[in-house]
Structure 1
Amino acid sequence: MFSQKAPQSHTLNSGVVLDFLRNTLPFNELPEEALEELAKDAALDFFPKGAVILTQGITEVTHLYLIQKGGVKLYLQDESGDVTLKDFRGEGNVFGALGIIRGAPASMTVETVEDTFCFLLNKKSFLALVQKDIRLAQYYLKSFSENYIHKSFSELRRQRLTPKGEGSLLLFSVPVTDLIKRDVEATPGTYSVQKAAEYMARLRIGSLLVEDAKGVVRGIITDKDLRSKVVAKGLEYRTPVREIMSSPVRTIPADAVCFDALLSMMTHQIHHLAVEDGGKIIGVITSHDIMVLQGQSPLYLFREILAQRTFEGLHEVSRHVPMVVRPLIEEGGKANNITRVITVLNDMILDRLLTMLQEKLGPAPVPFCWLLMGSEGRKEQTFRTDQDNALIYADPRDAQEADKAEQYFEKFSQLAIEHLVACGFPRCPGEIMASNPKWRLTYSGWRANFDRWVSVPEPQEVLHSTIFFDFRAGYGDKSLAERLRDHLTSSLKGKELFFRHLAQDCVTSRAPLSFFRNFIVERDGEHKNRLDLKSRGLVPFWDFARLMALRHGIRETNTLQRFKAVADGGHIPGELYSKSKEAYEFLMQMRLVHQLKLMESGVVPNNHVDPAKLSELEKQTLKGAFSVITSLQNYLKSSFKLNV
């Protein structure tokens, strides 16, 4: 490796730089005068292969480096000397931007991987452009979803979090096909379990696909099936495998990444996934494959949750969720992926908890379903959000059954809430919980509530709809929740007065930006001079997506999926969808990282950030995200004629 080389730059004709900038993102979208300003003081420098251009934490970044020819690698090095490779960059890519924007030394070491020429762009000119031109800031909003949010956010935490390696990064980038270790192994459904077991033992595999007489895959058997369905139940070894197989086989597309496989396994509580390409199964991957790939995988916690047999054990295990999720954020997982992992793990904790509670209290007198609302209902949970839940149960046949149901569910829900608190989920300050008899109702009771809220959209009813209409099934007889969703979707058709009230509610809160695009912060109280990312930033996106989804009969509750569905249906302009998606993901990412930093400091997570501690780029991108709120509200004002 060459030692660090100080730039020996050579001035050059600005026209050469101009031509290059005109064909390079994001500079090619800037006005000509901006490019001329950036190009006039530019220089060209040469770095031989193996030269260290910037050293993490040491080198002062004096220029923005734009690669004209060649390539570099960027990496982190911890105190023990272990190196974590972060990125490769080639022609047309830049490095040094984060150090310039933060006014700090280089955040990563940059070393050439071949002979490399770089244009050295003026630091002051670049900073002035970022602060002046919103298009450049918006470009970095997008690229920082991949670079800044993927890399720079972990850089901001580097003083607290030591890099752990590339496992989680691989999780988001490696295709599932890379985990396939052998050709597909299958057996006819008529084979005996004994013959199948011998075959699996000989090949040293843990699963076999099961085919019908035409060679079509109909199911799968695993070594667990042989233990739990054959040995444990004393089945005849001559039993055909088709009688113990799991069907249908869970599949995943060949172009999916390992993170998608991880989520699928956790969601469906399985350990094998068939990889499908063009309608044909080309291999099988296992949870073990992913754990080997990643190391500290959420699958470890997934197994721990399923293994718990005591409430105390579940309380303890549930507190490990942040520790398992942290590496995913550290290595660059997007907010939408992180919240999906948190949601799946929390759903599993709830499932295990309520299952054990039923084992303790005995079966319920009537079918029931535990409902999840708020961020839980939207599958957007961050670190330990408050509880928002309710309970729906089948209409009792008579008064005696009604009394039994009320007594059972009163005790059941109170114990459940207590155990959820012990698992680290705080009580809802507004008592939106199943332990509150107002939110523990029969199917008919819930249907009557929904009908009243839709028909008489007074302020309190509108508030209820913003909370409860994000519901989804959490545990139990999920058909009750589906029936309730069917009824709501049907009853909302043509209810334009209700939607107008929702729209009016959506536009009452302004984006936290002044006329001169300065941040509007809290004026007093515990969070004085701070921005509330949740109520002032995220809530307007939640409200807009909910309104549009309900109005157009979309059953989805997740905010990003709601936005996509209404855009795919042609109900909002494509450009508004793109802007909203980027802005929402940025706000969610900032919220997650902020909460993680607080937890690392031993502080209870909150949603209030200090804008004074943000870099200029962060401020610009945050202002850009907030400005989208105004666009959403203007769209509603126009659609519902709220100004008339």
Structure 2
Amino acid sequence: MLSPDREKRLLDIAGAGDLTALIEIRQKEQNRLATKVAAFKASDLVESLNELHDALIARTIALAENDLARMGLGAPPVPYAYMLLGSGGRREQTTYSDQDSCLVYADTADEDKAALYRVYFARLSEKIVNDLIAMEYPPCEGEVMSNNAEWRLPLSGWMEKIDGWFAEPAWENVRYLLIFADARHIYGDSALADQVKSHFFGDMLNHPVIAKRMMENTIRRKVLVGVFGQLLTEQYGEDAGSLDVKYGAYIPMVNAFRLLAIQANIRETSTFGRIECLRRAKLLDDDEAAEYAEAFSFLLEIRMFTETPNESVRLTASGKIPAERLTKVLRTQLKKALKSGRKIQRRVQREMQDRFGGR
């Protein structure tokens, strides 16, 4: 049951008549969350913040549709689905996560209509991406967004693209498959999104070489804890002594549980959800699931709580904790979480050796 405050917040977003109103709501709600951050558990903050992001993004898309209609382009000519990737797809966005998205729309055999659809959805995607930038969702540096034609296709185009990624196990294609594994429907026709994701998982069963490449990609980023439990901080340059929390702790755990979920045909996209589904499937026991959830919760706390103005720990723009912020207490907490991260990463590596004979 929705609390009165939560219900009002969602109603305010759904009723926002323009982008300016949405920007004001976002600023107000993020400020509200920041003032109460000390009272939140990491999982509760993640849930509340990502519910806010989902509602804001969905309303931005609806308003973009309305704007195109006022410009004379009409309503969407066919059903389509807007999907979030990356941290948005995993429901793990921080306060100012960037955009990662894709769009799938219904097919037609009529080439004239197909050309019309391409133009309409190109205009719509451009409008959505630009409006989200105005909402302070930065663009993806790798251009994995719906305004990139490579990530905006009809259903048949997506089927062909996914087949192509699977057919050629080059590093870049494997990276795209791992990105797409986090895709989550947020607006439009959910059946289209389901069809694309079902095709992705169906292809996985027929391409064991891709599974090996995914494992290799997954263990590429090592958890930054040494064999004796010491933190592996930056050794050189202006970041010397800092710890890369994003790429040396958070991302390795995200990658490991994503891969284990893909191999088990688990379609949940959040890391917490993947851990729970793996537990239910008896691929993790209760103690393991609790350990990994606790470790991941702490890493999310570090990522999210350090963005707020009233906390003493700070991340740099690169996702690193500066040396002067690595207190004895924080080091102890990080070592415990990173040991769990190393443990699950070693499991993935062992499975790769058992199945494929790799290093």
Give the TM-score normalised by the residue count of structure 2.
Answer: 0.90
Amino acid in the other structure paired with 2:177: S
Equivalent position of 2:55 in the other structure: 348
Equivalent position of 1:220 in the other structure: none
Change (3 A) 1:526 1:463: farther
What is the CA–CA distance in structure 2 between the aligned matches of 1:537 and 1:601, rounded to whole Å?
Answer: 16
Equivalent position of 2:114 in the other structure: 402
Equivalent position of 1:359 in the other structure: 66
Structure number having the greater strand percentage: 1
Of the candidates 304, 320, 344, which is equivalent to residue 12 of structure 2? 304
Q: Does 1:638 align with 2:350?
A: yes
Give the TM-score normalised by the residue count of structure 1.
Answer: 0.52
Amino acid in the other structure paired with 2:234: E
Q: Which structure carries more relative contact order (alpha carbon 8 Å, separation 6+)?
A: 2
What is the CA–CA distance in structure 2 between the aligned matches of 1:339 and 1:600, rounded to whole Å?
Answer: 20
Change (3 A) 1:619 1:450: same
Residue correspondence of structure 1 range 96-495 to structure 2 within 5 A: 261=1, 265=2, 287-288=3-4, 291=5, 298-331=6-39, 333-361=40-68, 362-495=74-207
**Shift in Å, 1:443:** 0.8
Aligned Cα RMSD in Å? 2.4
Change (3 A) 1:602 1:495: closer
Equivalent position of 1:581 in the other structure: 293
Of the candidates 330, 338, 342, which is equivalent to residue 618 of structure 1? 330
Change (3 A) 1:370 1:343: same
**Shift in Å, 1:406:** 0.9
Aligned residues: 351
Residue pair 1:598, 1:604 contacting (<8 A) in 2 also? no
- Write out per-residue CA displacement over residues 197-251 of structure 1, whole angstroms, 9 at most, x where no aligned residue: xxxxxxxxxxxxxxxxxxxxxxxxxxxxxxxxxxxxxxxxxxxxxxxxxxxxxxx
Structure 2 alignment gaps of length 5 or more:
69-73
Structure 1 alignment gaps of length 5 or more:
1-260, 266-286, 292-297
Q: Does 1:501 align with 2:213?
A: yes
Residue pair 1:318, 1:424 contacting (<8 A) in 2 also? no
Residue pair 1:521, 1:529 contacting (<8 A) in 2 also? yes
Q: Name the SS for the 2:126 alignment partner.
A: helix
Residue pair 1:385, 1:426 contacting (<8 A) in 2 also? yes
Amino acid in the other structure paired with 1:562: R
Change (3 A) 1:600 1:416: farther
- Write out per-residue CA displacement over residues 52-80 of structure 1, whole angstroms, 9 at most, x where no aligned residue: xxxxxxxxxxxxxxxxxxxxxxxxxxxxx
What is the CA–CA distance in structure 2 between the aligned matches of 1:500 and 1:536, rounded to whole Å?
Answer: 22
What is the CA–CA distance in structure 2 between the aligned matches of 1:574 and 1:452, rounded to whole Å?
Answer: 38
Equivalent position of 1:225 in the other structure: none
**Shift in Å, 1:616:** 2.0
What is the CA–CA distance in structure 2 between the aligned matches of 1:478 and 1:311, rounded to whole Å?
Answer: 25
Of the candidates 283, 288, 295, which is equivalent to residue 571 of structure 1? 283
Residue pair 1:322, 1:383 contacting (<8 A) in 2 also? yes
Change (3 A) 1:568 1:409: same
What is the CA–CA distance in structure 2 between the aligned matches of 1:595 and 1:477, rounded to whole Å?
Answer: 34
**Shift in Å, 1:398:** 0.7
**Shift in Å, 1:588:** 0.8
What is the CA–CA distance in structure 2 between the aligned matches of 1:313 and 1:573, rounded to whole Å?
Answer: 47
Q: Name the SS for the 1:479 alignment partner.
A: helix
Structure number having the greater helix percentage: 2
What is the CA–CA distance in structure 2 between the aligned matches of 1:405 and 1:510, rounded to whole Å?
Answer: 44
Residue pair 1:554, 1:562 contacting (<8 A) in 2 also? yes
